[in-house]
Structure 1
Amino acid sequence: MAQVIVVGGGLAGLSAAHTLLERGANVLLLDKQGFIGGNSTKATSGINGAGTQSQQDLGIIDSARTFFDDTKKSARDLARDDLIRVLTGRSGDAVNWLQNKFGLDLSKVARLGGHSQPRTHRGDAQFPGMVITYAQMERLEDLAVSDPERVKIYKKSRVVKLLKDESGGVIGVEYTRNGKNETAYGPVVLATGGYASDFTETSLIKKYRPEYYDLPTTNGEHATGDGHKLAIATGASGIDFEKVQVHPTGLVDPKEPDSKVKFLAAEALRGVGGLILDNQGKRFVDELQHRDFVTGKMWENGKTPIRLVLNSAAAKQMEWHAKHYVGRGLMKKFETGEEFAKEIGIPASQLKKTFDDYNAGVKAGKDAYGRKFFSPGEWTLNDSFYVAIITPVLHYTMGGVEIDPEARIIDTNGKPIPGLFAAGEIAGGVHGANRLGGSSLLGCVVFGRVSGDTAASYLLQQTTAAVAKAGGRLGAIGGHLEASKPAAAAAAPAAAPAEASGSEGAYTLADVAKHNTKDDVWVVVNGQVLDVTSFLPDHPGGEKAILLYAGRDATDEFNMLHDPKVIPRYAPDAVIGNLKK
């Protein structure tokens, strides 16, 4: 069967897979994790798009040209214009595609740091990265069930080598699965993410930015630059590996302040009016500046701990996030400014002066730090506040393998490597020295679609050439490419699996509470008791997200993040019984 191999099951790989299916190609998706989704599921602010239907509905005037200029400025003129044009020029279509094809709500539009217009799209009550990725993931998994000849998904399958023919073209991969070495043939799309958790012996962080090696990270442990290393070993050209983004707002868990992996505070928290204060309760930066600028000012200020603060108006706009962070112990709510000032250890009058100075800047249209965009409403001590301690964290790697505007990977001689494509964070040169907030999901979708288009065309060319060589007998090569018949229309999604009933056992909360360690962890979700010990390594949000609720009822937190069908779909064997009433 003629197929394209997609390596990596995050949003870039999923977008490539769906595009390939639309173009009539068959797909084999390989992911080294036990649960596909990758870092895309953690994206908290939204996806950028210029000229979208949502912007038009809200009366927002924006264009691909304006978005191009903002991206170029953020990139410090180090990104490639041809790649920025693809990213920004196809951004509106990418957002509309997600809404139309997957029925997603992306009707809310915010302005993040570095953007001259509101263009970061999200829905109402969920982390947009999770919603967007899960929608594609579930659709692809349904197709793998309803039409397994068209779609195959192999999890816990690590690619160890790219296979090449005599001419230097990539013709497949070697990978390990279930303890065995396997081989698959076809063009390859690498969508393996970045290297911001690369603390291995061959660490790209240590090699190119050793001064960042000891920083915490927001990335899952899978982000170790596997695809980069595979491509470079195959002759690919690398670009901008030293361009590593340090995000200013990693959330510090007071119980584990030195934890290597941090949760990320959504950039939208600053977009809706959140302020950054030092340990004296003073502002020192325009909160809507580029990430690297804000990070630099935090290091320059040095008065730690530094806090991200939301007043009631800002918290109301991001209510779901605020409650989520409070539930995880990463944010604290104060009923008054006096309470907050006491927590910091400063006079309330000092905090009031900070607020008064900010309010004066709002009225003037510009403050002492150059901030020009403000959220409506005054900051006063007579208000409630959501507060988190923040620290700079490794977040995104702008460097990667070099690609052209068609997502073909370029070799060290400046030529495309036949049969090898890239999408998402692995692709270098798109964001230059600094990526704009909201452009990570966008890069995944845009270049996922571009790589899918290009790989499908390449496969069709190769299949046609092979058919011609075989005397017009398609069966001679086992080919199957129906470019005129989109796969999405050819295969109806399978029905969601029925909910697992679990065993007949019934347990009390006291029973569950006994199982509260990493080696033995039970949780309660919607009246069901789950033993999630073996699921910990596969959880896309990381082990810590589950361990916070070990031995407890996690229903409220679970329902904030997940659709009820997640358990029967992805962890049916974890259900061991019901909660005794």
Structure 2
Amino acid sequence: MAQVIVVGGGLAGLSAAHTLLERGANVLLLDKQPFMGGNSTKATSGINGAGTQSQQALGIPDNSKIFFDDTKQSARELARDDLIRVLTGRSGDAVNWLQDKFGLDLSKVSRLGGHTQPRTHRGSAQFPGMVMTYAQMERLEDLAVSNPERVKIKKKARVVKLLKDEQGAVIGVEYTVGGKSEIAYGPVILATGGYAADFTENSLLKKYRPEYYNLPTTNGDHCTGDGQKLALEIGASAIDLEKVQVHPTGLVDPKEPDAKVKFLAAEALRGVGGLLLDNEGKRFVDELQHRDYVTGKMWENGKFPIRLVLNGQASKEIEWHCKHYVGRGLMKRFANGYDLAKEIGISPEQLKKTFDDYNVVIRNKKDPFGKKFFQTEEWSMDDYFNVAIMTPVLHYTMGGLEIDAESRVVGKDGKPIPGLFAAGEVAGGVHGANRLGGSSLLGCVVFGRVSGDSAAGYLLQRLGPLAEKAAGRLGAVAGHLGGDASATKSSEEKKAEEAPSGGNAFSVEEVAKHNKKDDCWVIVDGQVLDVTNFLPDHPGGEKAILLYAGRDATEEFNMLHDPKVIPRYAPDAIIGSLKK
């Protein structure tokens, strides 16, 4: 079968690609980043699912109807019943698919804000978004090596135009890679993400929510609304572009409090019982309310800095996250409440009163702020605490391209544009006015799979007899651009899987000398890496590596990555081994 072009290598694009392969279609995946993954790798709370194997094992009485009602309430006046029905109705299958096809551990289930049942799935370690995305990414990259006639991946490939035929059907893309313009043919699935880091000259964020334009963001700088703009140029319809979610809990780095890009504090931290306290050590909100509500209460209360406080029970429940945040200097551990009170700048008696008042709430299940779900253990000044400073941050864009229940992009005439599909954050209307925590990864997987199904069916039914004709019409354009009408495997994807052994041996003292941005070495599992040139391409940003410049980064690295990451993505960085 001919190819489908997937634009974007985050979880939505990867889920679409794997579904296309399951349906017999070939895949050309184009990603403008040097590494696939996108914002999906940053998702920290988990993926929602109703009626899953994990829920059944835990005796959780959830189903798609309950999930539908929760989502519709969150979406409020902008609820699209058709899209919500797809999102929630296929949620259980999506989670089970990840577990069965990719062997993922999604056995832990928690309740996030706005959910009436625990349904947000994650495993015992690592960020769930990273685990899910890497599993799909590595499987697809392996297929690109073993079966290149079925899977082709091009990174640092920026799509600049969607191509249409005389009837208005999308038949391919024009893109740039390696300084050259090229053309590829086939129906197109857009999975390019949102626009919550769109600080460009033609910013969608500035146009539709100018009051948010100067807020910090959790998004990578690649989230500039590319897919939305490409589709709008050819007559697509947009929906809810003014609906931009400001997440209440962005982590403030005490060393860089004004940094534009913030690391997100997983909503699961509040889901396991974390409290939000203002600068007087007082609660002011139901921590498990919808994100926009909590954000509004933070601004209304106005007593910054606001801290997210986890006691011992909550910390143990989500230990891996706490350890990671502490390691990055974004969270601090306190031995007891007296030390915490000193940090806040209040008396121990004042903090104890907050804890005592909350303990009464836990016992009576009556909260003045309306909270309904509580951890069982009461709060004590003699407990230990993990604490981080919070600030509202740009996080997610609910608006985007209008799609129907089959992930087909709708034109301004109200009809689907033939050959054009969208999945993930680029698609609007799925979450209405406010997205529930845990539904971003779900939207990527569900609509990634729906778009893959729809595009494969479209390719089989309609595009097959047109492909040769389309290629003939556009062949002259391809020749003029100096491109190749068929996608070919890039040199990056032909790199050997095995890393060089590195014959040199370095002492810890020698590595420690290379601790600056323009001269950065790190140690991982006894190997010495010169990551200076890799810093700008690191999906987690430069800072994540620079924290360990000149030091051993093994523990932090292994918390987040599979051992195959270095030989696969940075084999040239290995310069030797550590002297024994």
Q: Normalising by structure 1, report the TM-score.
A: 0.94
Deviation at 1:103, TM superposition (A): 0.7
Deviation at 1:333, TM superposition (A): 0.5
Q: Deviations over 1:150-205 (max 9, x none)?
A: 00000000000000101111000000001100100000000000011111111111
The whole-number CA distance in structure 1 between the counterparts of 2:261 and 2:501 is: 33
2:298 counterpart of 1:305:
no
Deviation by residue 1:421-474 (Cα, 9 ceiling, x = unmatched): 00000000000110000000000000000000000000001245449999xxxx
Equivalent AA in structure 1 for residue 516 of structure 2:
T
Question: What is the aligned partner in structure 1 of residue 243 from structure 2?
Answer: 243
Matched position secondary structure for 2:218: coil
* Structure 1 match to 2:293: 293
- Secondary structure of 1:391 counterpart: strand
1:118-517 equivalences in 2 (<5 Å): 118-466=118-466, 499-517=498-516
> What per-residue deviation string (whole Å, max 9, x for no partner) do you get for residues 315-338 of structure 1?
001111101000000000000100
SS in 2 for 1:76: helix
For residues 79 and 227 of structure 1, the distance between their equivalents in structure 2, rounded to whole angstroms, comes to: 23
Q: For the residues of structure 1 that align with 2:531 and 2:165, how far apart are their CA atoms?
A: 44
Q: Where does the alignment leave 5 or more consecutive residues of structure 1 unmatched?
A: 471-493
Aligned-partner Cα distance in 2 for 1:502–1:199:
42
1:418 is paired with a residue of what secondary structure?
A: strand
Percent of aligned positions that are identical:
79
The separation in 1 between residues aligned to 2:73 and 2:86, in whole angstroms, is 16
1:56-75 deviations in whole A, cap 9, x for unaligned? 11000011111010001111
Distance 2:468 2:346 in 1: 80
Provide, for residues 254-293 of structure 1, a one-character-per-residue CA deviation record: whole Å limited to 9, x for no partner: 0000000110111100000000000110000000000000
Q: Name the CA distance, whole Å, in 2 between partners of 1:451 and 1:578.
A: 46
SS of equivalent residue, structure 1 residue 228 = helix
Give 1:475's aligned residue: none
Correspondence for 1:35: 35
**2:92 aligns to what?**
92
Q: For residues 201 and 355 of structure 1, what CA distance do their matches in structure 2 show?
A: 48
Q: Deviations over 1:509-546 (max 9, x none)?
A: 22222222222221111111111122222211122211
Using the TM superposition, give the Cα deviation of residue 570 of structure 1 relative to its aligned residue in structure 2, in angstroms: 1.1
Q: Find the counterpart in structure 1 of residue 24 from structure 2.
A: 24
User: Quick one: structure 1 residues 498 and 411, their matched pair in 2 at CA, closer, same or farther if it must change by over 3 Å?
Assistant: closer
CA pair 548-409 structure 1, distance change in 2 beyond 3 A: same
User: What is the match of residue 563 of structure 2?
Assistant: 564
How far off is 1:234 after superposition? 1.0
How many Å separate the matches in 2 of 1:469 and 1:193?
Answer: 32
Structure 1 residue 498, shift from structure 2 partner: 5.6
Secondary structure of the structure 2 residue equivalent to 1:75: helix
The answer as to whether partners of 2:247 and 2:292 remain within 8 angstroms in 1 is: yes
Counterpart check, 1:73 vs 2:73: yes
> d(CA) in 1 for partners of 2:223 and 2:517?
22
Question: Greater shift after overlay, 219-228 or 527-536?
Answer: 527-536
Residue identity opposite 1:191 in structure 2:
A
**Do the aligned residues in 1 keep the contact of 2:2 with 2:464 (CA within 8 Å)?**
no
Q: Deviations for 1:316-367, whole angstroms, at most 9, x for unmatched residues?
A: 0111110100000000000010000011111101001000111111111121
Q: How far apart in 2 are the matches of 1:384 and 1:467?
A: 64
Conserved in 1, the CA contact under 8 Å of 2:5 and 2:189? Answer: yes
- What letter is aligned with 2:119? R
Measured in 1, the distance between the counterparts of 2:201 and 2:326 equals: 36
How many Å separate the matches in 2 of 1:469 and 1:350? 76
The residue identity in structure 2 corresponding to 1:371 is K
- Partner Cα separation in structure 2 for residue 385 and residue 469 of structure 1: 66
- 1:118-176 deviation digits (Å, cap 9, x = unpaired): 00001111110000000100110011011000000000000000001011110000000
Describe the superposition over 1:357-387 as per-residue Cα deviations: whole angstroms up to 9, x where unpaired: 1111111112110111001100010100000
Determine the C-alpha separation between the residues in 1 that align with 2:467 and 2:263. Answer: 52
Aligned counterparts of 2:79 and 2:512: Cα–Cα separation in 1? 52
In the alignment, is residue 49 of structure 1 matched against residue 49 of structure 2?
A: yes
CA distance in 1, matches of 2:202, 2:43: 27
Deviates more, 1:548-557 or 1:441-450: 548-557
Instruction: Give yes or no for contact 2:186–2:467 (8 Å, CA) kept in 1.
Output: no
User: After the TM superposition, which of the residue ranges 370-379 and 550-559 deviates more from structure 2?
Assistant: 550-559
CA distance in 2, matches of 1:178, 1:55: 47
Offset of residue 502 of structure 1 = 3.6
Task: Write out per-residue CA displacement over residues 483-513 of structure 1, whole angstroms, 9 at most, x where no aligned residue.
Answer: xxxxxxxxxxx9x966424421222222222
For the residue of structure 1 that corresponds to 2:172, the secondary structure is: strand
Is the deviation greater in 82-91 or in 532-541?
Answer: 532-541
Deviation at residue 549 of structure 1 after TM alignment: 1.4
Aligned counterparts of 1:80 and 1:536: Cα–Cα separation in 2: 42
Corresponding residue SS for 2:229: helix
Whole-Å separation in 1 of the counterparts to 2:277 and 2:468:
68
| Structure 2 SS opposite 1:77 | helix
Partner of 1:519 in structure 2? Answer: 518
In structure 1, distance between residues paired with 2:218 and 2:385: 25
Residue 240 of structure 2 aligns with an amino acid whose one-letter code is D
Q: Root-mean-square deviation (CA), in Å? A: 1.5
Letter in 2 for 1:153: I
Aligned length: 557
The 3-state SS of whatever aligns with 2:77 is: coil
- Distance in 2 of aligned mates of 1:143 and 1:366: 55
TM-score of the aligned structures, taking structure 2 as reference length: 0.94
Q: What amino acid is aligned across from residue 544 of structure 1 in structure 2?
A: K
Distance 2:86 2:29 in 1: 25
Q: Which amino acid aligns with 1:225?
A: G
Report the AA paired with residue 540 of structure 1: P
